Chain A
């Protein structure tokens, strides 16, 4: 028998109580794993050696458009190093439920800016540029719909209409990108802007965003301000932010889910803290006599204190590890579906935070009962025999 065994026996002496407490902790950490993991994935900063990308969009919100002429003005601005533009296509394949994240871009400029990110080779670039109906798709998307290089497939838009009234564009699969470190799952498609612009009946010469890098990160804020100021008196005003901030605002459009779940997680933790803290105070009080006996036998006050903290930390780990594990697993599953770009390579940070939270939860919920037990007077605790 070790001290840990004794702690374990104490924790599980009332099976139902231990189970219910673990369940509460499980749920809290399930939510924690999913939500905090989600936030972590959204907060992806550019990798070492990669400049942070800046995004200029309509000030109203990112679904609104800006005139194409803005692109030329931004490209010509001091401090702007490299730029490309992208336009929502609102794409789906065959049926609206097969929604695909799709953008219209100028392939040449897009490749110049992003070939590293997507691992586009010379040959692939040439193949795409050779055909204005050409489309670049990610490996995961091609796999999902069974597309092969050279296939011509109809891609529909829920935004634009062609002059013949149809909303479907024939597209040739010109380039399939393999997964890269920067983009491990790629479920988006990129079509040729010229091809779209000449055939759409509405929103001509309108683009969604301009994406660019500056000559130096120090210039980012300055350039952003300069751009937004220069359009301040135009009918369409702009907002320029970093791509990280943009991604976040994009996700936030799913509804203010993040905020709501943050509140839920906070509330969940505060309530389990109270429930567990209270239950442990009562549980230890029920053991007053046993604790007095242990002290009589020679267990020191500090040792008793430590053992009770070990017990609450153990409890916290039992529910916590399981909850967080499943939470993170769920998140990875959602990420693999590919609707939302969720890079998972920093998820271990969340796991570490979770473990820290488990220790903290255990120590906080155990402190009062441990302190009470430590202070317990033996004669009082033994009571009157």
Chain B
């Protein structure tokens, strides 16, 4: 029952560039329980994005075990991994990464193309997701017609539309002003508390990190922890 949702055991990650080998982590261990909201901070180049990529199954560890909900993710084939991501992980990026030729509603619907849901059910889910991020009136707008904050909300709606257990956010407020950032961060808190999403958020901003339940500092391949008391 106390099995963590995400578990990294003895994970190493090295990049080989020509004759040079860059080691990002060695023997890294990490456990994130279900329902946690973790902020990850650390100097640039410390491997925060790389860590998120490993947890989200878009990059592979050089060695070690990565477990999600008790299952070994590192053992999956590329096809299985794609399938796993579509149902378990929602990604949120700093620069939103919406499809420019699709309107907000269609952007949110995109992950549902990978499901067998009926058109009506998909529509219902898109509407729900858009109302969670408080943007139902912007459904027909294209990304270029939306502000940064609104685009990020669409991106969040896209990340939650297939109801994944976990959200991975890489500097989600890095491009937003303080107020907008706070709104987005409150939304993450809501998603974490009300919808029980497990959230891992990389950030440079100590203010942003305060919204998380705890903060991990990554430096030179190791974590130091600080628990936020709310």
Q: Which A residues have a C-beta under 8 Å from some C-beta of B?
A: 1-3, 6, 9-10, 13, 289-290, 293-302, 378-379, 382, 385
Bound-complex Cα distance A302 to B83 (A):
12
CB within 8 A of B101: which of A3, A10, A295, A298?
A: A10
Q: Which residues of B contact A297 (CB under 8 A)?
A: 85-86, 91, 110-111, 114, 158
For B94, the chain A residues whose CB sits under 8 A away are 385
Quick check: B59 and A379 within 8 Å, CB to CB?
A: yes
| B residues at A contact (CB < 8 Å) | 49, 53, 56, 58-59, 78-79, 82-87, 91, 93-95, 97, 99-102, 106, 109-111, 113-114, 122, 158, 170-171, 174
CB proximity of A315 to chain B, nearest CB, Å: 15
> Which residue, of A289, A293, A298, A300, has the highest number of chain B Cβ atoms within 10 A?
A298
Cβ–Cβ < 8 Å partners of B91 in chain A: 296-297
- A290–B59 Cα distance when bound, in Å, is 17
Complex Cα distance, B93 from A124, in Å, reads 86
Asked if B58 and A3 make an inter-chain contact with CB atoms under 8 angstroms apart, the answer reads no
Alpha-carbon gap, A285 to B131, bound state (A)? 34
Contacts of A6 in B (CB 8 A): 102, 110, 113
With both chains docked as a complex, state the minimum distance between the C-beta of B109 and any C-beta of chain A, in angstroms: 5
Contacting pair A298 B83 (CB below 8 A) = yes
- Nearest-neighbour CB distance to chain A for B61, whole angstroms, equals 13
Q: Is the CB of B53 within 8 A of A9?
A: no
Which of A289, A301, A379 has the most C-beta atoms of chain B within 10 angstroms of its own C-beta? A379
Q: How far is the CA of A13 from the CA of B78 in the complex (A)?
A: 29
- A165 to chain B: closest CB distance in Å? 77
Of the candidates A1, A13, A300, A302, the one whose C-beta lies within 8 Å of that of B109 is A1
Interface residue from A2, A293, A301 paired with B78 (Cβ < 8 Å): A301
When the two chains form the complex, which single residue of A13, A300, A379 contacts B82, counting CB atoms closer than 8 Å? A300
Whether B101 lies near A13 (C-beta < 8 A) is: yes
- The smallest C-beta distance from A344 to any residue of chain B, in angstroms, reads 42
Q: CA A301 – CA B78 in complex, angstroms?
A: 8
Q: How distant is the Cα of A385 from the Cα of B49 in the complex, in angstroms?
A: 9
Closest A residue, CB atoms, query B112: A1
Additional A-B contacts beyond A301-B79, A378-B53, A385-B170 (16; CB < 8 A): A1-B113, A3-B113, A6-B113, A10-B101, A13-B101, A290-B99, A295-B58, A296-B85, A296-B91, A298-B87, A299-B113, A299-B114, A300-B82, A301-B82, A382-B58, A382-B97
A293 to B77, CA, bound (A): 19
Ordered by A's residue number, 9 sampled pairs between the chains whose C-beta atoms are within 8 Å are: A1-B106, A6-B110, A6-B113, A296-B85, A297-B85, A298-B83, A298-B85, A300-B82, A379-B53
With A1-B106, A10-B101, A378-B59 in contact, do A295 and B49 touch (Cβ < 8 Å)?
A: no
Q: Which residues of A contact B158 (CB under 8 A)?
A: 297
Given contacts A295-B58, A378-B59, contact A9 B82 (CB under 8 A): no
How far is A296 from B171 in the complex, measured between Cα atoms in Å?
Answer: 17
Give chain B nearest CB distance to A70 CB in angstroms: 73
Q: Which residues of B contact A295 (CB under 8 A)?
A: 58, 82
Least distance between B141 CB and chain A CB atoms (Å)? 15
CB neighbours of B86 from chain A (8 A): 297-299
Q: Across the interface, which residues of A come within 8 angstroms of B99, CB to CB?
A: 290, 293
Q: Which residues of B contact A385 (CB under 8 A)?
A: 49, 93-95, 170-171, 174
A7: min CB distance to chain B, Å: 11
The residue among B53, B78, B87, B113 with the most chain A CB atoms within 10 A of its own CB is B113
- Cβ contact within 8 Å between A9 and B59: no
Most buried by A among B93, B97, B158: B97
- List of A residues within 8 angstroms of B97 by Cβ: 289-290, 293, 382
Contacts of A379 in B (CB 8 A): 53, 58-59
Q: How far is the CB of B230 from chain A (nearest CB, A)?
A: 28
Give chain A residues whose Cβ lies under 8 Å from the Cβ of B101: 9-10, 13
Chain A nearest CB: distance from B139 CB in Å? Answer: 12
Q: Tell me, in angstroms, the Cα distance from A185 to B75 when the chains sit together.
A: 72
Smallest Cβ distance from A39 to chain B, in angstroms?
Answer: 41
B58 near A378: Cβ-Cβ < 8 Å: yes
